[in-house]
Chains A and B, each alone.
Chain A
Amino acid sequence: MLRAFTFNEVLFLLDATKWTIAVTLIAFVGGGLVGLLIMILKVVNNRPAQWGAAAYVELFQGTPLLAQLFVVYFGMGLFGYDVSPWVAVSVVFTLWSAAFLGEIWRGCVQAIPRAQWEASAALGLSFAQQIRYVIAAQAARIALPPTVGFLVQIIKNTSLASVIGFIELARAGQIVNSATFRPFLVYCTVAMIYFALCYPLTALSRRLEGKLHGAH
């Protein structure tokens, strides 16, 4: 007996959307923290640190997120950890986001001219003060638009968490589809919900970028 695709089914999809948002937030916060570390390792004057960070970025940007999810999900099981999809998804999305955010932020920090470091040193600012008032203050402004843009990438890629059985919006779409068998309608609704989440952020990122270029 097939179910009809009614408002209840839409509500079910909207309910699952909160898990999409939850994973996105975990990935963004966790990835931001680890990404900060990657960025620091890449800009400090230390060859092994730079190489380590470069290898990390290459590993996570050069393999499909799908493969990362499977390796961590099955790998954690082998080493005797409780394999809840929640943990696997949080770990993978954190590590994956970190590789991209680290790279984005490195670009922003390196976009600050060397002379700014020298000038602030000449003014007698301590290293911490240089970072806080001169480098980070300027880099953060440049970093904002691409960071918001990457948030959109995170939201879209959380749909892949569905493959290891994590129930979020895309997985909920599959569930509703197998109950109603209206794939076109169901997946278009799912796409519309993703669009409603992503488009405002895309527009915001574009506006921030426009502002940045307008200011110069």
Chain B
Amino acid sequence: MVYEFRYNQVFRHFDVLLEGAWLTVQLSASAMALGLLIAIACALIKTDGPRPARLLVNAYVEVIRNTPFLVQIFIVFFGLPNLGLRLSASQAALIGLSINLGAYATEIVRAGIESIPRGQIEAGVSLGLSRLQVFRYVIIMPALKAIYPALSSQFIILMLASSIVSQISAEELFHSAAFLESRTFLNFEIYSIVAVMYLVLSIAFRGALNLVRLAVFRRP
């Protein structure tokens, strides 16, 4: 018996998948922004913070980096209500993804901050820049510029990992796929299309991140 592929039946409901893809884009972009903020804060603490805070950040980074994301969102979504914190699936997904990215990006951002020579900061101070100006123009922007390639790859990895939040039934592309599968039973067709959609998304994200790089780090 030869299986007859029924891709046209899936394409008839392609709008469901497109909607899911758009949710994935939104979820990933929000998690990238939040995760980067967490990472910058943690990286600053790691390079220049008080010892107890440094130890805390170290523990956070190590715990997240050495446990699976699947288990992390299970703890956030199924576990936290035990402690009295009830989150919706999409809230848990966003929080889980941001916390996860934050830990990986902390190490990346820290490497960037440490690549700024001490003399540059002193030069900034002696030019009469305020603390905030030194932080913005001398430390964080050059640091981010230096580590941007590594950060972009981490962002793409996050976008792909966002498919895992379908396991707590948060709505995004993979969840839409599962929904469509329950309606049509065309599992192979659906998941192969969805795989291609993720491939397109990762190429699109890479392009968008390059544009961001051009826009933000224009100056030499």
User: Which residue numbers of A lie inside 8 Å of B, CB to CB?
Assistant: 58-59, 62-68, 70-71, 74-75, 77-80, 152, 156-160, 162-163, 170, 173-174, 177, 182-185, 187-188, 190-191, 194-195, 198-199, 202
The residue from B70, B78, B191 contacting A162, defined by CB atoms under 8 A apart = B70
Q: Is the CB of B83 within 8 A of A74?
A: no
Q: Which residues 139-185 in B have Cβ within 8 Å of A in the complex?
A: 156, 160-161, 163-164, 166-167, 174
- Closest B residue by C-beta to A202: B66
- Knowing A62-B203, A63-B160, A202-B62, the reply to whether A191 touches B67 (Cβ < 8 A) is yes
A199 touches B62 (CB 8 A): yes
Q: How far is the CA of A216 from the CA of B220 in the complex (A)?
A: 31
Per the bound structure, the CA–CA distance linking A191 and B71 in Å amounts to 6
A198–B196 alpha-carbon span in the complex (Å):
31
Q: Quick one: which of B75, B194, B202 contacts A191, CB cutoff 8 A?
A: B75
B194 nearest CB neighbor, chain A only: A67
State which of B78, B161, B191 has its C-beta within 8 Å of the C-beta of A70. B191
Identify B75's interface contact among A74, A158, A160, A188, CB under 8 A: A188
Does residue B68 face the partner (Cβ distance < 8 Å to A)? yes
A63 to B202 Cα, complex, angstroms: 8
Inside 8 A of A75's CB, which chain B residues have their CB? 188, 192
- Chain B, residue nearest A194 (CB): B67
B63 interfacial by beta-carbon distance below 8 Å: yes
B71/A190 in contact, CB under 8 A: yes
- Are B161 and A64 in contact, CB atoms less than 8 angstroms apart? yes
B198 at the interface (CB under 8 A from A): yes
Contact B163 A67 (CB under 8 A): yes
Q: Quick one: which of B42-95 are within 8 Å of A by CB?
A: 62-63, 65-72, 74-75, 78-83
Beyond the given pairs A66-B166, A78-B3, A79-B3, 8 more chain A to chain B contacts, judged by CB atoms under 8 angstroms and listed by A's residue number, are A62-B203, A67-B198, A74-B187, A156-B68, A159-B70, A160-B164, A173-B71, A202-B62
A64-B74 in contact given A71-B188, A156-B68, A156-B69 (Cβ < 8 Å): no
- For the complex formed, measure the closest distance between the CB of B43 and the CB atoms of chain A, giving whole angstroms: 17
Interface size on B, residues (CB 8 A): 39
Closest chain A residue, CB of each to CB of B162: A64
Residue contact A187 to B195, C-beta cutoff 8 Å? no
Inter-subunit contact A63/B199 (CB<8 Å): yes
The smallest beta-carbon distance between A45 and chain B, in angstroms, is: 27
A contact residues around B191 at 8 Å (CB): 67, 70-71, 74
**Given contacts A66-B174, A157-B68, are A184 and B83 in contact (CB under 8 A)?**
yes
- Which residue of chain B has the shortest Cβ distance to A160 in the bound complex? B70
Give me 9 A-to-B residue pairs in the complex whose CB atoms sit less than 8 angstroms apart, sorted by A's number.
A63-B195, A63-B199, A64-B161, A170-B70, A183-B75, A184-B79, A191-B63, A194-B66, A199-B62
Residue in A59, A70, A199 whose CB lies within 8 Å of B66? A199
Q: Which of B71, B81, B156 has the most CB of A within 10 A?
A: B71
A177 to B77, CA, bound (A): 13
Residue of B whose beta carbon sits closest to that of A201: B66
Let me know if A64 and B198 touch, CB within 8 A. yes
Cβ contacts under 8 Å, A183 to chain B: 74-75, 78-79, 81-82
Q: Contacts of A184 on B, CB cut-off 8 Å?
A: 75, 78-80, 82-83
User: Is the Cβ of B66 less than 8 Å from the Cβ of A195?
Assistant: yes
Q: In whole angstroms, how far apart are the Cα atoms of A115 and B30 in the complex?
A: 47
CB distance from A175 to the nearest CB of B (A): 13
Contact of A74 among B70, B78, B188 (CB under 8 A): B188
Find out whether the CB atom of A71 lies under 8 angstroms from the CB atom of B78.
no
Q: How far is the CB of A17 from chain B (nearest CB, A)?
A: 13
Interface members, chain B 94-112 (any A CB < 8 Å): none
Question: B82 near A58 (CB under 8 angstroms)?
Answer: no
Contacts of A66 in B (CB 8 A): 163-164, 166, 174
- B71 and A194: CB pair below 8 A? yes
